[in-house]
């Protein structure tokens, strides 16, 4: 039987990766963003939001929305994508750190979900306003 010696010190995650600088940092950041998008596209809610974005652009085109109204819609949708990504990150962390059911974990997930819901309401209100004013005006 082998004797167990002292365990080799484990590297911290920060030590395992080489810090990029300059243009290499820009490319690394782009790669990390692409990886985040690939993870987020696995979420059904995000795929629904993408469909809503495409449908909204089509509806805005049909009703003759102004460029500023298009811009407002795009900005609100991008904010929703951002909050959806943060919500998914919260869920991933809670599931990793606290896989058991806990009040704190549930609250964190519920708060992330509420943030997404608020942006859904903001998008719906803005889109409804634009479509109704264009159809009635």
Cite the active site residues.
84
Q: CA 85, CA 41: separation in Å to the nearest integer?
A: 10
Instruction: For residue 127, count other CB atoms closer than 10 A to its CB.
Output: 21
Q: Which two tokens stand for residue 52?
A: 């809503």
Q: State the DSSP code for 137.
A: -
Nearest-angstrom CA–CA distance, 45 and 109: 14
Q: Is the dihedral of CA 82, 88, 94, 97 positive or negative?
A: negative
At 127 the three-state DSSP class reads helix
Radius of gyration of the chain (CA): 22
């Amino acid at each position: 039987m082998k004797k167990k010696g002292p365990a080799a010190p484990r590297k911290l995650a920060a030590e395992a990766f080489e810090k990029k600088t300059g243009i290499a940092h820009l490319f690394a950041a782009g790669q990390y963003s692409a990886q985040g998008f690939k993870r987020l596209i696995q979420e059904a809610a995000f795929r629904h939001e993408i469909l809503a974005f495409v449908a909204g652009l089509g509806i805005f085109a049909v009703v003759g929305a102004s460029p500023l109204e298009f811009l407002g819609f795009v900005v609100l949708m991008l904010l929703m994508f951002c909050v959806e990504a943060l919500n998914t990150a919260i869920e991933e962390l809670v599931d990793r750190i606290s896989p058991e059911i806990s009040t704190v974990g549930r609250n964190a997930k519920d708060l992330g979900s509420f943030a997404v819901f608020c942006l859904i309401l903001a998008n719906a209100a803005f889109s409804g306003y634009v479509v109704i004013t264009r159809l009635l005006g």
